[in-house]
Amino acid sequence: MKKKFLTVLLCCALLLSGCSSQTTTTAEDSSSQTQTLQVGLAASDLFTARDLETGYDAETAARITLEGDTASCDSDAVTIDGSTITITDEGTYVISGTLENGMLMVDAEDTDKVQIVLNNASITNETSAALYVREADKVFLTTAPDSENSLSSGDSYVAIDDNNIDAAVFSKSDLTLNGSGTLTISSPAGHGVVSKDDLAVTSGTYTITAASQGLSGKDSVRIADGTLTIQSGKDGIHGENTDDSSLGFVYIANGSFSIQSEGDGISSSSILQVDNGSFSLQTGGGSANAPEHTSTESFGGGRPTGTPPADRETGTQPSAPPENQPDDLSSEAGTDVPTSVSSASVNSPSNTDDAAADPAASDTTDTSSDETGTKGLKASAQLMITGGTFSLDTADDALHSNGDISISGGTYTIATGDDGIHADNAVTITDCDLTIADSYEGIEGLSIDISGGTISVKASDDGLNAAGGADSSGFGGRGGDAFAVTEGACITISGGALTVDADGDGLDSNGDLRITGGVTYVAGPTSGADSALDCNGEAEITGGTFAATGTVGMAQTFGDSSTQASMLIALSPDSTPCTITVLDADGTELFSWDSTKNFSSVLFSSPELEQGAAYTVTAGSNSAEVTLDTISYRADGIGGGMGGGRGGSRNPGERPDQGTAPDPSASQSSEAQTSGT
């Protein structure tokens, strides 16, 4: 039954593929360079009524009173051996009091459902888990109303059976956290909460401090609601299953999340879907702590050829674990592997299940990397966000997917040391309020499709970059040919309001660029090696308003296949930040834009422009008279730099004429004379 909803999801996706020219793939085929799943997870499939229910029958519940180094209970289903209390049967158990250096264990039948109600309970264990679920069908950990509770482990984990216990709360079975009280979880040597099955949070207030991962579910992490504050030495919330790529997903319906992690904020080895919630995430010390980007490339745009800021798969450069931190830096909490430690009796938080006693029975460990990523939200298959409020400060990518990213709602404030948004395949944005205040590259994917939303991008390199692949920047795996076309690479803007401020290329497509609607402003580079628009394939505009400023020498315009008129002109002398206006022959203002940077060229297009008509473009004290004698007007001598966008004027991969930056005072044709001081 666990895979039922995912099976339905994948089948729906395959059916949808018949309605689209794009190929629909499954979670197992995230390497395809096409758009994949566009149907999401549903809360109704993921949470049972009992997951959401926080009440219990106080009259029939068994009561366990913790008494320092032991406990008392009159239920036959509870055994007490010193400071170890074991629940052996289905039912509800109310826990209160304090247990020092002890353990609450559930060891029932695999068909039993057990509810544990914490009512001002505190359990510490210096050498193992405070709560250990060895066997049950499902355990509900409920905090009673107005109660304050704590579960803590110590500085080491000593083996008590064949399971590698490495968390303050460790469960071999499905585990649900709910309630209306508070729970503080501390794990100075391991994970906070680990479930080797499904981990659900449906309500309650939680403060989790862990040397490794905060919350970890092998098959899934499902959050319906709750308030979570997590400080972790690795990922804040983590789902991973190395045996089944359809599992290890993370789903969040709602809640409040404050996460400060040395690893990824929220990570999934499958699908990561967020429908709502409030998120404040800082990873890897934040954007100010990111490795410095260096560039030795001859052409603008793309990943520098120097040391990368972070590996696309793992997020950071290899490094040794900090002293007194877990020696396992793999990404899954709870993968079954043989334990290899100096003493067979000590468990490290290596995310293992079975000890070395039975290596053949162990699951396969994730050997992809021993490094810790520092991304905000990361999905191996697909990242889908339909709503929520996000404040992300990340050393690596803020939103990352090894497959696709789909954003159809939400409010985002992003500062990142690398990409604001990165997908190896497709980035699709249909609606959002997105501010990328600081990034290396703003939005990157094999394809970028924007049809709605209000988007602001600030990038020290490219604003939008359509390249693709696990390390798609630079020349996008094109063998060093900066002018080759990457198959499937495309930027499409059909709606919304997009503002880009880029020190590298403003819009950089290794394939095509299509503008069919929306309003797009690009404050492009001031360096001669970059351009506001950089397109290796066809650049076409058929609708919308587009305005861009940049340098003269590498400037590009739209191709002759466009159906909407555009103009690319130079202004003399170079203009400092000022107001740019476009007037028609009657002096009616068609457009006004306050530029934010120095520039020497202006590219403008709007539905109001008509081929054959005359216009005046003014920038500060500079002005140019332009007659649009072609659909894509371009002043003589301007541009000629990297890439296409000239209506098929060159073959794909052919290096265009380079053309030096013209003297703007002499570069205007008879239809575009420059005047002013």
Instruction: Kindly report, residue by residue over 429-445, the tens digit of the pLDDT.
Output: 999 999 999 999 999 99
pLDDT digits (tens, 9 = 90+) for 27-64: 333 333 333 444 588 999 999 999 999 999 999 999 99
pTM comes to 0.82
Q: Where are the domains of the chain?
A: 54-159, 440-676
Question: Is the CB of residue 438 less than 8 Å from the CB of residue 461?
Answer: no
Q: Concatenated DSSP letters for 6-42?
A: HHHHHHHHHHHGGGSSSPP--GGGTTSSS--------
- pLDDT for 344 beyond 50: no
Quick one: pLDDT at residue 304?
A: 36
- pLDDT for 178 beyond 90: yes
pLDDT digits (tens, 9 = 90+) for 635-646: 875 655 433 443
Kindly state the DSSP code that residue 287 receives in the 8-state scheme. G
Quick one: pLDDT at residue 298?
A: 35
- pLDDT for 656 beyond 50: no
Distances (CA, A) of 257 to 220, 265, 389: 18, 10, 10
Quick one: pLDDT at residue 27?
A: 35
Tokens of residue 284, six digits = 């890897």
Q: What is the mean pLDDT of residues 539-548?
A: 97
- Give the C-alpha separation, 101 to 106, whole Å: 17
State the DSSP H helix or E strand holding residue 547, giving kind and residue range, or none if neither. Answer: strand 545-550
- Give the C-alpha separation, 385 to 231, whole Å: 23
- pLDDT for 295 beyond 80: no
- pLDDT for 79 beyond 60: yes
SS (H, E, C) 50-74: HHHCCCCCCCCCEEEEEEECCEECC
pLDDT digits (tens, 9 = 90+) for 462-503: 999 999 666 444 433 334 456 688 999 999 999 999 999 999
Q: Calculate ∠ Cα 611-616-622, nearest 5°.
A: 140
Q: Name the nearest CA neighbour of 261 among 201, 207, 330, 209.
A: 209
